[in-house]
């Protein structure tokens, strides 16, 4: 065993005879009670008991600097949340890394930027990404800075392909962002004319809702990626004269939020204005990885790419804002280095020979594996670990608020009772995925199902003499709408709320107590898990939440 990854046994606590289970209730934050709070509006007797247990419950920070994001105004998300849970320390994350690279100018000094600008000057620079300032997957400020710099470097033709948000921002806010982007494009065009004396052609070329095109994850819906690829690349989609006209038309046709609007393509007298051709540059400006991987593979894949028919696939220079998967090397070209997360809790457990499992459905499977393991694909040690993925349904999740919780619970109970594992972790995704739909009633039902499944897990932990930890990765279901002058507006984004942390331990005899403190966050969980397994945490880990 590597000395670097070895752990010392605790003198004060040797662990329990049964397995330890970590339950991450995705998107279940802690906020004041009220009609807007699906968590407290639901009947959840099991969760109520867990989160009010004397000496064994507290709340944790799950947003902003506590999870490596720039400021307290930045919502947490599942990716940085699971990074923090698994790493035991705080690492600078996506938006913070990009902000620093833009502020220092290091982004523009990279050979990848130079190659993208060379291709853009010879052809067209295409900028593709989530079009909002939600700061979860992307930020429009980053887009505008890229546009401004490209103009300074002599790029005469830019096409922006926008993925409408309505999930991490207000449900129908697309028109505001379109107006801001068109203003930024016009300003950059004027800069080109003044500074270099040449006309520039900068326009929005295609778009669609983030849950309809392009931004699938975990290979749940490749046809969704194809719809986006075809619109951005080949100009295939519903034709409009402008992005504003496209959104206004679709608003009039249904009550759907921005994230569910169909694909559209901007046409002029000559047809689609943004078709990609050989030699163009494509920069995907999202910084978060999960929903960037598949579209990246579609652009980077050679003739062996088989997820869908790409038609006449152009030979473009493709770059991502960050590298989205370090093991898969996706993308090959990227502008900002991702966080280097080492010495994760999982690595220490493997080094100690502990047997573990990780389970969720497709929508959150990567969170309890890839993100938990420090952005690393695959097993750390296949002989000691079991990863179980329950396939998600391709439906709007408010139609199936239980999602796959029953299936996850059944398979978890089987693994717990098998005696083959020292510890396991699972993600229950429905608080987040149903919460994102803005459907309050469905989210309340989702919480009821979550409580029902938690009751079964608690019963099995009692049976086996183990320990259960209940927590979450960020808020969402805890604030489902805002209200101004009596008018409610659905809130589909994450929240700034803290999250619950509770321990259920049927063998508890007062050996420890949970100690909350002002800056306690998700990164404090790893040391706590190691303690409950009978080990002292590494010295550089954030403090345990336990006082023995």
* Residue 78 is a catalytic residue: yes
Strand, coil or helix: what is 528? helix
207 vs 310: CA distance, rounded Å: 18
- Buried b / exposed e along 250-286 (16+ C-beta atoms within 10 A): bbeeeebbbbbbbbbbbbeeeebbbbbeeebbbbbbb
Dihedral sign for Cα atoms in the order 446, 451, 452, 454:
positive
Is residue 500 within 8 Å of 471, Cβ to Cβ?
A: yes
- The residues pairing with 127 across neighbouring beta strands, listed in sequence order, are 160, 283
Show the tokens assigned to 392: 């998600």
Is residue 212 within 8 Å of 289, Cβ to Cβ?
A: no
**Which residue, 509, 496, 488, 501, is CA-closest to 527?**
501
Under 8 Å CB-to-CB from 156, ≥6 apart: which residues?
Answer: 121, 192, 198, 199, 200, 201
Q: How far is CA 21 from CA 24, 138, 374, 424, 461, in A?
A: 10, 33, 20, 5, 8
Catalytic residue among 2, 78, 306, 523: 78
Show the tokens assigned to 410: 């059944």
Is residue 91 within 8 Å of 66, Cβ to Cβ?
A: no
The residues annotated with a catalytic role in the active site are 78
């Amino acid at each position: 065993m590597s000395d670097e990854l070895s752990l010392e046994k605790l003198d004060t606590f040797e662990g329990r005879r049964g397995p330890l289970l970590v339950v991450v209730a995705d998107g279940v934050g802690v906020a004041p009670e009220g009609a807007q709070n699906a968590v407290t509006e639901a009947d959840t007797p099991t969760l109520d008991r867990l989160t009010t247990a004397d000496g064994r419950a507290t709340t944790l920070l799950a947003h902003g600097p506590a999870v490596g994001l720039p400021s307290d105004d930045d919502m947490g998300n599942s990716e940085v949340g699971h990074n923090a849970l698994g790493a035991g320390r705080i690492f600078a994350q996506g938006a913070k890394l990009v902000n620093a690279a833009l502020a220092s100018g290091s982004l523009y000094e990279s050979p990848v930027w130079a190659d993208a600008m060379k291709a853009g000057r010879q052809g067209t620079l295409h900028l593709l990404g989530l079009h909002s300032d939600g700061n979860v997957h992307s930020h429009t400020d980053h887009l505008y800075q890229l546009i401004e710099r490209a103009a300074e470097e002599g790029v005469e033709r830019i096409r922006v392909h926008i993925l409408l948000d309505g999930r991490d921002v207000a449900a129908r806010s697309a028109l505001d962002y379109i107006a801001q982007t068109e203003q930024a494009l016009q300003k950059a065009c004027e800069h080109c004319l003044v500074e270099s004396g040449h006309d520039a052609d900068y326009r929005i070329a295609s778009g669609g809702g983030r849950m309809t095109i392009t931004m699938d994850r975990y290979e749940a819906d490749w046809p969704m990626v194809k719809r986006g690829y075809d619109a951005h690349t080949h100009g295939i989609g519903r034709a409009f004269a402008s992005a504003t006209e496209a959104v206004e038309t679709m608003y009039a046709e249904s009550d759907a939020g921005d994230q569910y609007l169909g694909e559209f393509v901007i046409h002029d007298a000559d047809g689609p204005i943004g078709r990609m051709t050989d030699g163009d540059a494509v920069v995907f400006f999202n910084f978060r990885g999960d929903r960037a991987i598949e579209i990246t593979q579609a652009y980077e894949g050679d003739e062996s790419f088989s997820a869908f028919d790409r038609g006449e696939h152009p030979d473009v220079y493709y770059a991502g804002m960050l590298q989205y998967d370090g093991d898969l090397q996706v993308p090959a070209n990227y502008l900002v280095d991702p966080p280097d997360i080492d010495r994760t809790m999982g690595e220490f457990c493997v080094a100690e020979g502990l047997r573990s499992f990780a389970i969720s459905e497709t929508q959150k499977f990567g969170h309890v594996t890839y993100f938990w393991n420090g952005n690393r694909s695959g097993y750390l040690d296949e002989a000691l670990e079991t990863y179980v993925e329950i396939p998600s349904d391709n439906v709007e999740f408010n139609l199936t608020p239980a999602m796959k919780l029953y299936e996850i619970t059944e398979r978890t109970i089987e693994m717990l009772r098998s005696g083959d594992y020292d510890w396991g972790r699972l993600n229950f995704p429905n608080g987040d995925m149903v919460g994102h739909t803005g459907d309050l009633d469905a989210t309340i039902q989702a919480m009821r199902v979550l409580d029902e499944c938690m009751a079964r897990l608690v019963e099995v932990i009692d049976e086996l003499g183990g320990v259960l930890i209940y927590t979450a990765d960020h808020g969402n279901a805890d604030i489902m709408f805002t209200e101004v002058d009596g008018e409610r507006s659905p809130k589909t984004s994450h929240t700034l709320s803290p999250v619950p942390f509770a321990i259920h331990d049927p063998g508890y005899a007062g050996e420890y107590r949970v100690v909350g403190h002002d800056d306690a966050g998700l990164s404090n969980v790893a040391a706590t898990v190691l303690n409950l397994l009978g080990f002292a945490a590494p010295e550089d880990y954030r403090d345990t939440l336990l006082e023995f």
